[in-house]
Structure 1
Amino acid sequence: MNSFRKSIMALVAGATVLTGVASPAMAQRDPAYAAARANGSVGEQIDGYLGIVGQATPALQTLVNDINIQRRAVYTRKAQQNNATVEQYATTAGCQAIARTVPGEKYQAPDGSWQTRSSAPPERLPICP
């Protein structure tokens, strides 16, 4: 098992807690985020950040930027605590966030395309646990 995969697996527990904080908590605080997620304007990216699906408006771009700044701050703190890189931690968080999407929500597939979650498990990176 390569060291990157070992690092990813070691970070899963922390990312599980993280995605619970970074996504649903923000949705509860910001109705615009919940609406954008529900209508497919935004989706979870494989890199652990929120992405815009389709046409960006200034308000949507601001919303996504704000959420991603918050996520990066959490990823940075958690990566330092877990002796990992921010990118490793963010990728692990992306694996978990995509796994937690619900039918109808958008997510980024390993090939980079945007997919709409069905009742089937989402497509995820091969390194995802």
Structure 2
Amino acid sequence: MGNDKMVMKMWKPTGLALAAIAATAAVALAVPSAMAQRDPAYAAARAAGQIGEQPDGYLGFATTPTPAIRALVQDLNIKRKAAYTASAQSTGSTVEQFAFTSGCNLIAKTKAGEKYQTPSGAWKTRDGSPPERDARCP
């Protein structure tokens, strides 16, 4: 195929692959999420709307972070990436694919009052309705 006719193929998971990734994502997130929930600084930043879940599976800053919040989020995101990397192999997916599916699940699990990032990049506060998620989410 010539360069002018190259077509990028988007990853489109099959139902079975998607189910496997989603199931493994739930298990992989248990350890980093459990550790984060024990950290009072994480809980306070999340409750204050300073940080929230992003569609890519990582935590993001909904407001300008303090150095301490920045360090906390960077540490948690490093742990998430390690969990995604370890789990991606068992599902036959890439780290990015696994992280994306995890992001879908994490945004779906946000509670009222918590921040999350929409597919357009806007930060929203979760209310009683379902969050806005990427159309590719399972």
TM-score scaled by structure 1?
0.91
The corresponding residue for 2:25 is 15
Rounded to whole Å, the distance in 1 between the matches of 2:32 and 2:137 is: 19
Is the contact between residue 8 and residue 127 of structure 1 (CA under 8 Å) also seen in structure 2? no
Residue 28 in structure 1 maps to residue 64 in structure 2: no
SS in 2 for 1:4: coil
Is the contact between residue 5 and residue 127 of structure 1 (CA under 8 Å) also seen in structure 2? no
For residue 128 of structure 1, what is the amino acid of its counterpart? Answer: C
State the Cα RMSD in Å: 1.5
SS in 1 for 2:13: helix
The corresponding residue for 1:82 is 91
SS in 2 for 1:5: coil
SS in 2 for 1:76: helix
TM-score scaled by structure 2?
0.86
Residue 5 in structure 1 maps to residue 13 in structure 2: yes
Deviation, structure 1 residue 125? 0.5
The corresponding residue for 2:123 is 114
Task: Determine what percentage of the aligned residue pairs are the same residue.
Answer: 55
Deviation, structure 1 residue 80? 1.2
The corresponding residue for 1:124 is 133
Alignment of 1:93-104 (within 5 A): 93-104=102-113
For residue 39 of structure 2, what is the amino acid of its counterpart? Answer: D
Deviation, structure 1 residue 56? 1.5
Rounded to whole Å, the distance in 1 between the matches of 2:30 and 2:111 is: 14
Is the contact between residue 52 and residue 114 of structure 2 (CA under 8 Å) also seen in structure 1? yes
The corresponding residue for 1:65 is 74
For residue 4 of structure 1, what is the amino acid of its counterpart? Answer: K
Rounded to whole Å, the distance in 1 between the matches of 2:135 and 2:102 is: 14
Is the contact between residue 19 and residue 96 of structure 1 (CA under 8 Å) also seen in structure 2? no
Structure 2: stretches of 5+ with no match in the other structure: 1-9
Is the contact between residue 8 and residue 128 of structure 1 (CA under 8 Å) also seen in structure 2? no
Is the contact between residue 55 and residue 117 of structure 2 (CA under 8 Å) also seen in structure 1? yes
**Aligned pair count?**
127
Rounded to whole Å, the distance in 2 between the matches of 1:123 and 1:33 is: 23
Is the contact between residue 46 and residue 91 of structure 1 (CA under 8 Å) also seen in structure 2? yes
